[in-house]
Structure 1
Amino acid sequence: MKLGVAVLGVGRWGVHFVRNFLEHPQTELIAVVDSYEDSLTRCQERFDLNSNKVLLTTHWEKVKRLTNLDAVVVATPATTHYSIIQDALQSGYHVLAEKPLTLDPAECLELTELARSKNLQLLVDHTYLFNSTVTKGQEIIAAKELGDLRYGYATRTHLSPVRQDVDALWDLAIHDIAIFNYWLGESPIQVQAKGQTWLQKNSVMPISSQPGLADMVWVTLYYPSGFQTHIHLCWLNPDKQRRLCVVGSQGTLIFDEMAQETPLTIQQGYFAQEGENFIPQGQSRRAIDVEKNEPLSQVCDRFIQNILANKQDNFSSGKVGAELVKVLRALTTSLEQQGNIINL
């Protein structure tokens, strides 16, 4: 017997959920929901969906009445997540939610508790946590191949898409924060953010009282261990970068998505002191072999296997989603205060 799945929201990312659940051997796509008819039409044509087998509708209420529905994927705008996910869980459906889970950490925890109380799955699509390269990086750090960890840095820039509902911070930062938290095994205790706005100076985010959607943001995260990381985010930069690094006493681990053949490398090297001089030693570069996978496919499969096994999984759970949203909310406060350090 296959699990019946409905996908809510088939925009730029939602269509990939449609593809994955159409291909998954243990699921049947039974409904697609989107508020725009054009999006439904494009999705139907792209995947040659049979409207007699897959309900295509602009109304979630119609989907709730389907007797063969087991699980819901929520890939709608983040501002709608809380009400939709709450309704889906109250109706008895497992939920896979696009990140961020909601825009409020308290709401995230409320939904997590609701899922637990009803013995339902609530998994958040923090896709990078399911990336085999990121998993390998965590193993390298855990094995202390870098020596004593010192600091980290990341850059996530491109030219478009420009969001009109959230700023570059909320659009981009969650990926790198999730990776750093996973690699370090801890969450920030202080955060700081500074940014600039050029394109949408009068727009206001739902969680902010101040106008302007920042196009560029500099983020600093302070961890309990003393580790600090600096992140550069911008959607107004044609120099596309997806690069994240952790520096240790014996070398630097580099995750560079733009280097498709060798996305994970270790640049090794350290200093030997001779009198007052510091002499570089042991310099080399080593590419790390990583078995490639499609992270989103792993997300979808993890969700389905947890349902079938009735297994509560803390990996990329609602609790993890709440922690990341808490960091983003604190960064927004810092951004509004022109870079004040905010305690978590």
Structure 2
Amino acid sequence: MKIGVAVLGVGRWGVHFVRNMSQHSQVELVAIADPHPSQLNYCVQQFGIDPTKVTLATDWETIRELDNLHAIVVATPASTHYDLIYDALSRGYHVLAEKPLTLNPEQCLELTKLATSKQLQLLVDHTYLFNSVVQKGQQVIQSGKLGQLRYGYATRTHLGPVRQDVDALWDLAIHDIAIFNHWLGQTPIKVQARGKVWLQPEHQMIISNQVGLADLVWLTLFYPDGFEANIHLCWLNPDKQRRLCVVGNEGTLIFDEMSQATPLTIQQGYFAQEGDKFIPQGQNCQIIATEPAEPLSQVCDRFITDILKGSSSTLSSGWVGTQLVQILTGLTRSLEQQGEIIALPTFSS
């Protein structure tokens, strides 16, 4: 059996869903929808799409009742996600959604419960969770090689792209938050954020009362066991960094995405105390081997496999997507309140 899939939204990221789904052995790509005909034409030419076999449409309404449709991929702007996903789930379609699931945690929870009640797949494309380097990093932490975990830090900076609909927090933070949560096996109970606005002081996000889109954000995640993670985000910094670290009393695990040859390493070392002095011991750099694989291909394959097997993945489910949007919402409140620490509500899946 092949799963009939439609891809909604074929912009910068959506075209990669078309590529993966059109090449998947257990998928029949039945439709592509995007309001810009030029993007539809790009997919036809770039991926050899046959317009006589794949419906090309400029809106969801045109394809929502196709007979051979079983699942949809939603890669449209996040502000459109709720209505599209709700309609698709209500009609009995499985959904793979680009992150964030929606811009509102209550809406995320509603969609997740709807998918559960109808026994449908709702998978969120938190791509880093399917990255072989991130998955290996989780294994390293669980093995205890770092000793007692103490704190974490991450940096995600570059010169653009600058968004006009959301700030640097909503644009960039979800990746590192997802990795920290996955590696630690827990979610924050409190959050704090501070930011600076330079480029767009007059712009306002639809999810925030604060005027001005933050170009720089410093945030802190407070976890139940006392672990704290600090994240630096900026789209106004030519020093491009994609680096995340977890520090233990016996070493630091480093995920450096800019280091293609050795993206995952452990900097080992600890102190031996002699009187009132602390002497560094056991200093060494260990390269962690990983298997190369395209994360988005793994996302698509997991989605299709879960549909065929009727089993739901917990790795990047609607519940995970809801938790991440809940964290971003708390960070936005903290940002609006000039760095107040915000306690996060809890819910059970």
Shorter-chain TM-score range? over 0.9
Equivalent residue, structure 1, for 2:328: 328
In structure 2, the gaps of 5 or more residues are 345-349
Structure 1 CA distance for aligned equivalents of residues 81 and 102 of structure 2: 6
Using the TM superposition, give the Cα deviation of residue 268 of structure 1 relative to its aligned residue in structure 2, in angstroms: 0.3
SS of the residue corresponding to residue 283 of structure 1 reads strand
How far 1:46 sits from its partner (Å)? Answer: 1.7
TM-score by length of 2: 0.97
The structural deviation recorded for 1:131 is 0.7
Tell me the residue number matched to 1:229: 229
- CA distance in structure 1 between the aligned counterparts of 2:343 and 2:107, rounded to whole angstroms: 20
Distance in 2, matches of 1:315 and 1:281, equals 37
Alignment identity in percent? 68
Matched to 2:203, the amino acid is: S
3-state DSSP of counterpart to 2:238: strand
Matches within 5 A, 1:1-344: 1-344=1-344
Query: After superposition, what is the alpha-carbon deviation per residue over 1:234-254, rounded to whole angstroms, capped at 9, x for unaligned?
Result: 111111110000000000000
Q: Secondary structure at the match of 2:158?
A: strand
**Displacement after TM superposition at 1:53 (Å):** 1.0
Distance 1:19 1:44 in 2: 10
1:256 to partner: Cα distance? 0.3
Task: Please list the CA deviations of residues 210-244 of structure 1 after superposition, one character each: whole Å capped at 9, or x if unmatched.
Answer: 21111110011110110001000011111111000
Q: Secondary structure at the match of 2:203?
A: coil
CA distance in 1, matches of 2:213, 2:65: 39
Q: CA deviation at 1:197?
A: 1.1
Cα distance, 1:155 vs structure 2: 0.4
CA shift at 1:50, angstroms? 1.5
- Give the Cα–Cα distance (whole angstroms) in 2 for the partners of residues 154 and 285 of structure 1: 19
1:49, CA displacement in angstroms? 1.7
C-alpha displacement at 1:41, in angstroms? 2.2
In the alignment, structure 1 segments of 5+ residues that lack a partner are: none
Q: Look up the SS of the partner of 1:229 in the other structure.
A: strand
SS class of match (1:338): coil
What SS does the aligned partner of 2:166 have? Answer: coil
SS at match of 2:201: coil
Partner of 1:319: helix, strand, or coil? helix
Task: Report SS of the residue matched to 2:200.
Answer: coil
Tell me how far apart the structure 2 counterparts of residues 194 and 257 of structure 1 sit (CA, whole Å).
Answer: 25
Deviation per CA, 1:292-333, whole angstroms, max 9, x where unpaired?
A: 111111100000000001112222100000000000000000
Q: Which amino acid aligns with 1:249?
A: N
Farther off after superposition, 47-56 or 182-191: 47-56
Listed one character per residue, the Cα deviations across residues 58-82 of structure 1 (whole Å, up to 9, x for unaligned) are: 1211111210001100000000000
* Residues 251-292 of structure 1: per-residue CA shift (max 9 Å, x gap): 000000100011000000000111111100000001001111
CA distance in 1, matches of 2:5, 2:15: 14
* Equivalent residue letter for 1:60: W
SS class of match (1:63): coil
Q: Partners in 2 of 1:238 and 1:7 — Cα distance? A: 34
Partner of 2:347: none
Q: Deviations over 1:91-129 (max 9, x none)?
A: 110000000001111111110111111111000001111
CA distance in 2, matches of 1:158, 1:51: 38
* Distance of 2:240 and 2:41 partners within structure 1: 32
TM-score by length of 1: 0.99
**Letter matched to residue 43 of structure 2:** C
Range with greater deviation from structure 2 (50-59 or 67-76)? 50-59
Count of residue pairs the alignment pairs up: 344
